[in-house]
């Protein structure tokens, strides 16, 4: 129960601290939105370019004798994204959404917040070893983003002739750089592990604190971007995304993980990691294609915010299910 409370406190204290900071900065200090946006970007760069890759590398370095079955983890991650995106398109058709809204629903249904919130919950609930497994799980994230999500989102665009790099090249570069940082950290950690170099004791206790700091910085930056006044009229869309994220995807992914035998590895640690990551809310990168292709960005923002706030109910559910495994 202590771990559950800690996860909730870290997530929501970070988000609402960022929100309170932005309100204070705008109303009391007169800081412009452009300056706050630049500050948010710097916090995200520190979290995703430095702290998270470093914690993944340290955790992989100390991972004891990884079993070959763990190489299935990236396919579970990819399967979760494809399933979520497909269900979002189903709901968009069922609700007869316009192309710009359907495209935004697809993006939100596809990507989940694994890097920040997912890794944090894994760390708090399961310890340092879960950080490495979470990093492996999201290995195909960039392939799905560029190879599937961007092309499909572009087909829904009201401005189909717009070039992706015309106004979004900088954002694309950031996500490519994040991928390279994560891959470099994974490869270095695996190489050090396979070469049987002993991990210095001073590093052993750093992976979890680095993850916690990176997550708090990322969520603080997310809170700085919250604008509740822009969320009106999207309750049905947000409900559909929450249904996908917190029921449909876990209901399919977790039984498949059991069938794959993850429950028999390391006291079920990979199974528990998949359980946690299959329940995660909409990710920040789900907001990029709507911004690039003039889709309904307010809808995407609403789904992202509502699904993140829903963690106050989702995390106790995860905790209860984990006690049954």
CB 308 within 8 A of CB 222: yes
Sorted by sequence, the CB contacts under 8 Å of residue 190 that are 6+ apart come out as 60
pLDDT at site 91? 95
CB 119 within 8 A of CB 204: no
Q: What is the CATH number of the domain that holds 214?
A: 1.20.1530
CB 323 within 8 A of CB 1: no
Neighbours of 61 (CB within 10 A): 23
* Rounded-to-integer distance, Cα 281 and Cα 147, Å: 22
The candidate with the shortest Cα–Cα distance to 304, out of 238, 248, 247, 219, is 238
pLDDT at site 16? 85
Q: How far apart are the first and last CA of the chain?
A: 16
Sorted by sequence, the CB contacts under 8 Å of residue 16 that are 6+ apart come out as 223
The candidate with the shortest Cα–Cα distance to 295, out of 152, 86, 144, 84, is 152
pLDDT at site 230? 64
Which ranges constitute the DSSP H helices of 95-206?
99-110, 119-126, 129-137, 141-144, 150-155, 164-194, 201-204
For tokens 């495994």, what's the residue?
A: 325
What are the C-alpha distances in Å from 130 to residues 17, 21, 80, 143? 27, 32, 18, 23
pLDDT at site 153? 86
Query: How many domains would you assign to the chain?
Result: 1
Sorted by sequence, the CB contacts under 8 Å of residue 230 that are 6+ apart come out as 298, 301, 302
Domain coverage including residue 61: 2-322
pLDDT at site 163? 41
Angle of helix 297-309 versus helix 235-243 axis, rounded to 10: 60
CB 240 within 8 A of CB 32: no
CB 146 within 8 A of CB 178: no
CB 317 within 8 A of CB 300: no
User: Whole-prediction pTM value?
Assistant: 0.74
The candidate with the shortest Cα–Cα distance to 195, out of 206, 185, 203, 187, is 187
Tokens of 178: 């994040």
* Rounded-to-integer distance, Cα 257 and Cα 209, Å: 28
pLDDT at site 165? 42
Angle of helix 207-224 versus helix 119-126 axis, rounded to 10: 140
Each residue's pLDDT, cut to its tens digit, for the chain (325 residues) gives 566 677 778 878 888 898 899 888 888 877 887 888 788 878 877 887 778 778 878 877 876 666 778 889 999 999 999 999 999 999 999 999 999 999 999 999 998 988 778 888 888 889 888 888 888 898 787 678 767 887 888 888 854 434 444 444 444 434 456 567 767 877 888 788 778 778 888 887 787 788 888 878 877 887 887 777 667 789 999 999 999 999 999 999 999 999 999 999 888 999 999 999 999 999 877 877 887 777 887 898 899 889 988 988 998 999 899 888 7
């Amino acid at each position: 129960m202590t771990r559950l409370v800690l996860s909730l406190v870290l997530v929501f204290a970070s988000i609402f601290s960022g929100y309170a900071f932005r309100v204070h900065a705008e109303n009391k200090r007169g800081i412009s939105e452009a300056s706050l946006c630049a500050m948010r970007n710097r916090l995200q760069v520190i979290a995703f370019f430095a702290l998270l890759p470093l914690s993944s590398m340290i955790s992989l370095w100390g991972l004891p004798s990884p079993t070959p079955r763990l190489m299935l983890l990236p396919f579970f991650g990819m399967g979760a994204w494809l399933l979520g995106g497909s269900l979002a398109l189903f709901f968009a058709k069922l609700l007869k959404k316009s192309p710009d809204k359907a495209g935004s629903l697809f993006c939100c249904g596809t990507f989940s917040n694994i890097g920040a919130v997912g890794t944090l919950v894994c760390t708090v609930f399961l310890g340092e070893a879960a950080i490495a497994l979470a990093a492996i799980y999201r290995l195909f994230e960039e392939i799905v983003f560029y190879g599937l999500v961007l092309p499909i989102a572009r087909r829904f665009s009201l401005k189909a002739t717009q070039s992706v790099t015309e106004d979004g090249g900088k954002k694309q570069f950031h996500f490519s750089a994040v991928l390279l940082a994560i891959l470099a950290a994974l490869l270095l950690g695996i190489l050090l592990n396979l070469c049987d170099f002993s991990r210095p004791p001073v590093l052993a206790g750093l992976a979890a604190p680095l993850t916690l700091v990176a997550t708090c910085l990322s969520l603080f930056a997310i809170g700085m971007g919250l604008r509740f006044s822009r969320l009106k009229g999207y309750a049905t869309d947000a409900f559909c995304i929450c249904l996908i994220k917190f029921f449909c995807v876990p209901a399919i992914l977790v039984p498949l993980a059991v069938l794959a035998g993850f429950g028999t590895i390391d006291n079920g640690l990979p199974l528990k990691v998949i359980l946690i990551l299959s329940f995660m809310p909409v990710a920040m990168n789900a907001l990029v294609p709507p911004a690039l292709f003039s889709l309904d960005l307010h809808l995407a923002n609403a789904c992202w915010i509502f699904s993140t706030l829903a963690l106050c109910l989702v995390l106790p559910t995860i905790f209860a299910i984990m006690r049954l495994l």
